[in-house]
């Protein structure tokens, strides 16, 4: 898992001005709330006084209040009030928690979990056709799965699984001439992309059969942006396309929260939304039923521990991008983190740590990297 990227932290309706919301990402707890102006904020959840959970407190006058001793923190993470020294007392400069840059789009509150200055941060992936005429976004789908987020991303980069995992996408390997057509992998600014033509069966259900009833060819492409964001563009016909965007929040090694946005340029009647979502979740559960039981839970540390095929070349490129970010010093040492939690309170370092010192919570442990590797990565 990697710092210095944008992560979905909550649905917009979960961020409130009168009640804090607790979320967990990369093995750490965060609190999400709104100030009096309606701006969403994301802070580390641990009070630096005596370890209280800020998300178990309440929100008042734009501040989140710790339920243990009433310490009040504003949106930038600074402690505004310590009741025990008097409401007019001045909190010490060290009374602060990490506050993370926030963007709110597509019904999601995103936070940049890292310490890079603004000009160096990888951007949040933008959905260009969102709110454009001729496209319709389905209701945001959010669901938890019991597998590692990298397994989820790699599944979306694998064109060979569709034939066998998704009956509506192919012919279950029954055609004697079946094989995955050759394709190229290209690099994007913060990830990779491929596109391939696939033979697909005609749709049998009442909804999608309106688009195509007969067998034919589908062009599908998938790509990544950072370690946790994936896009899939599917051309069912020359004029009917699905664009699907997945923003993933790794909860821990075994759990992932998926924020799924489906765009379509056909069947634009709002009454079709539920039917499209039902079909999307049917396909999602076909993946879930398989990915939940992969062994090992995490992707292997060496590609020699798997027999990889030409159809896996985008998976391989994704792993190379992960290695690049590890060599920048951005990968969390999850083994050390888990070993020390319970004795040590950690936080992902925020940009404020580059501007001031004297922080209470330890920064998350990061994987070691060779100096020459980091120089090459930069």
Please state the domain extents for the chain. 5-120, 136-321
Q: What is the mean pLDDT of residues 335-348?
A: 97
Residue 374 has pLDDT above 60, yes or no: no
Q: What is the pTM of this model?
A: 0.93
The predicted pLDDT at position 218 comes to 84
Q: What is the pLDDT of residues 67-102, one digit of tens each?
A: 999 999 999 999 999 999 999 999 999 999 999 999
Residue 342 has pLDDT above 80, yes or no: yes
Residue 208 has pLDDT above 60, yes or no: yes
Residue 367 has pLDDT above 80, yes or no: yes
CA distances from 108 to 111, 248, 368 (A): 10, 11, 33
Strand order in the sheet with 28-34: 21-25, 28-34, 40-44, 99-100
Q: What is the pLDDT of residues 9-29, one digit of tens each?
A: 999 999 999 999 999 999 999
The predicted pLDDT at position 371 comes to 47
Share of the chain above pLDDT 70, in %: 93
Instruction: For residue 165, give the 3-state DSSP assignment.
Output: helix
Q: Are 45 and 145 in contact (CB under 8 A)?
A: no
Q: Which residues contact 14 (CB under 8 A, 6 or more apart)?
A: 21, 32, 109
Give CA–CA dist 173/290, Å, rounded: 17
Average pLDDT of the chain?
Answer: 93
The predicted pLDDT at position 370 comes to 55
Nearest to 79 by CA among 68, 64, 95: 95
Nearest to 321 by CA among 140, 136, 168, 192: 192
> Tokens 């999400």 map to which residue?
32
The predicted pLDDT at position 170 comes to 64
CATH topology of domain 136-321: Naphthalene 1,2-dioxygenase Alpha Subunit; Chain A, domain 1 (3.90.380)
Four-way CATH pick for 5-120: 3.30.565.10, 3.90.550.40, 3.30.360.10, 2.102.10.10 = 2.102.10.10
DSSP state of 332: B
> Of 216 and 190, which is predicted with more confidence?
190
Residue 377 has pLDDT above 70, yes or no: no
């Amino acid at each position: 898992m990697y710092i210095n990227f944008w992560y979905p932290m909550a649905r917009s309706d979960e961020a409130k001005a009168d009640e804090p919301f607790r979320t967990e990402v990369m093995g750490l707890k965060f609190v999400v709330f709104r100030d009096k102006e309606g701006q969403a904020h994301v802070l580390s959840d641990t009070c630096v006084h005596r370890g209280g959970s800020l998300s178990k407190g309440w929100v008042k006058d734009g501040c989140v209040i710790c339920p243990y001793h009433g310490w009040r923190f504003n949106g930038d993470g600074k402690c505004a009030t310590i009741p025990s020294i008097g409401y007019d007392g001045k909190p010490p400069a060290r009374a602060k928690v990490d506050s993370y840059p926030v963007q709110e789009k597509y019904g999601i509150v995103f936070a940049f979990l890292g310490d890079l200055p603004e000009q160096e941060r990888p951007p949040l992936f933008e959905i260009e056709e969102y709110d454009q005429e001729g496209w319709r976004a389905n209701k945001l789908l959010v669901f938890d799965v019991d597998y590692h987020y990298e397994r989820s991303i790699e599944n979306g980069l694998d064109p060979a699984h569709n034939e066998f995992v998704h009956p509506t996408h192919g012919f279950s390997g029954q055609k004697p001439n079946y094989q995955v057509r050759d394709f190229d992998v290209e690099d994007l600014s913060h990830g990779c992309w491929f596109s391939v033509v696939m033979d697909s069966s005609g749709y049998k259900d009442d909804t999608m059969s309106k688009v195509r009833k007969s067998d034919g060819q589908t062009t599908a492409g998938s790509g990544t942006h950072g370690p946790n964001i994936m896009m899939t563009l599917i051309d069912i016909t020359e004029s009917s396309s699905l664009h699907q965007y997945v923003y993933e929040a790794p909860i821990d090694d075994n759990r992932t929260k998926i924020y799924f946005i489906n765009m379509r340029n056909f069947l634009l009647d709002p009454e079709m939304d539920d039917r499209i979502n039902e079909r999307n979740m049917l396909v999602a559960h076909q993946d879930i039923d398989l990915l939940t039981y992969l062994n090992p839970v995490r992707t292997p540390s060496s590609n020699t521990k798997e027999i990889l095929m030409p159809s896996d070349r985008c998976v391989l490129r994704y792993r190379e991008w992960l290695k690049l970010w590890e060599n920048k010093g951005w990968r969390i040492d999850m083994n050390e983190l888990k070993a020390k939690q319970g004795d040590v309170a950690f936080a992902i370092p925020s940009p404020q740590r580059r501007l001031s010192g004297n922080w209470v919570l330890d920064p998350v442990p990061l994987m070691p990297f060779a100096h020459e590797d980091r120089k090459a990565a930069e």
